């Protein structure tokens, strides 16, 4: 089994790159992709640890793109990590996240949730601070009962302390991944919150832009969704990929390689992904 969607402390996960490699070994996964949000900073450490432990490391990233509806994330695999254009774009996205974080902190303070930056950042890893870390800080202060309340009342889209941030267009995100020699994959399509007809048209448009695959197998995908996404992949000549979206303590119900317990991503999907590179 493999897992092509995993996050470390260089994004919003709770495990270091080495801990992920060790957990992959314990879980008997043959290959794992580190796909931190808008950052490749953990890939060197991850690849080194995987090589030492005999687990195949897949270089990846998860890029935030501007959606028509819902949330749009694009996974990139096997790109040139040193590609200047890609790294410049990822830096711009991270800068946008930083500015957004400053504004969200200001809004929360204005709403009576007194937090300072250091206590929010303390819940983050080495690089990316995001809304889950704000949620943890608010829980620790007792401002909310659980994370659901944080997003329902404060940090969900359109809520009192929500702030938009810079994202790439789908066209630019796919182009950057492809120009860096990689393959672009649509992550967890259900998060787009589109009807079947709208999703079909959208995936068709992405395929025309150079999309290479769809994340069909995912922790939260139902059998019906898997069938729909598999059909879209077949219709537009796209690869099937899959992963748990493992974050560690941030979402302990999701297990590496197994999701909620029934996720199985076959090794042959990675072989097809690598074959497409050739």
pLDDT of residue 272: 97
Which tens digits make up the pLDDT trace of 231-272? Answer: 999 999 999 999 999 999 878 999 999 999 999 999 999 999
Range of the domain at 260: 2-89+166-277
Task: Indicate whether 161 belongs to any domain.
Answer: no
Number of domains in the chain: 2
Q: Are residues 83 and 111 in the same domain?
A: no
Q: Are residues 62 and 192 in the same domain?
A: yes
Q: Are residues 63 and 122 in the same domain?
A: no
Which tens digits make up the pLDDT trace of 164-176? Answer: 888 899 999 999 9
Integer Cα distance of 104 and 64 in angstroms: 18
Q: Are residues 114 and 75 in the same domain?
A: no
Residue that has been written with the tokens 């990846």 in this structure: 60
Q: Full-prediction pTM beyond 0.75?
A: yes
Task: Indicate whether 160 belongs to any domain.
Answer: no
Q: Are residues 193 and 134 in the same domain?
A: no
pLDDT of residue 69: 79
Q: Are residues 34 and 103 in the same domain?
A: no
Task: Indicate whether 239 belongs to any domain.
Answer: yes
Task: Indicate whether 236 belongs to any domain.
Answer: yes
Q: Are residues 149 and 184 in the same domain?
A: no
Which tens digits make up the pLDDT trace of 205-232? Answer: 999 999 999 999 999 999 999 999 999 9
59 with 43: CB under 8 angstroms?
Answer: yes
pLDDT interval class at 125 (50, 70, 90): low
pLDDT of residue 246: 97
Which tens digits make up the pLDDT trace of 4-15? Answer: 999 999 988 889
Integer Cα distance of 71 and 170 in angstroms: 12
pLDDT of residue 131: 87
């Amino acid at each position: 089994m493999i897992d092509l969607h995993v996050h470390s402390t260089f994004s919003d996960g709770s495990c270091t790159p080495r801990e992920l490699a060790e957990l992959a070994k314990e879980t008997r996964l043959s290959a794992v992709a580190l796909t931190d949000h808008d950052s490749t900073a953990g890939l060197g450490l991850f690849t080194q640890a995987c090589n030492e432990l005999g687990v195949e490391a897949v270089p990846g990233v998860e890029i935030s793109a501007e959606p028509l509806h819902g949330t749009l994330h694009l996974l990139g695999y096997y790109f040139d990590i040193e590609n200047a254009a890609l790294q410049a774009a990822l830096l711009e996205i991270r800068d946008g996240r930083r500015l957004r974080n400053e504004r969200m902190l200001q809004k929360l303070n204005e709403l009576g949730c007194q937090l300072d930056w250091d206590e929010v950042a303390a819940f983050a890893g080495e690089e990316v601070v995001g809304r889950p870390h704000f949620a943890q800080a608010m829980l620790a202060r007792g401002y909310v009962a659980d994370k659901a309340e944080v997003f329902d009342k404060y940090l969900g889209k359109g809520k009192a302390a929500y702030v938009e941030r810079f994202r790439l267009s789908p066209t630019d995100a796919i182009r950057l991944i492809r120009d860096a020699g990689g393959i672009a994959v649509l992550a967890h399509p259900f998060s787009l919150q589109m009807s079947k007809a709208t999703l079909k048209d959208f995936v068709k448009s992405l395929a025309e832009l150079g999309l290479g695959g769809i994340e069909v197998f995912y922790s939260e995908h139902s059998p019906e969704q898997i069938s729909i996404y598999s059909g879209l992949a077949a219709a537009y000549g796209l690869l099937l990929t899959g992963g748990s979206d493992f974050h560690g303590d941030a979402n302990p119900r999701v297990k590496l390689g197994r999701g909620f317990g029934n996720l199985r991503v076959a090794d042959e999907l990675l072989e097809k992904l690598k074959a497409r590179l050739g």
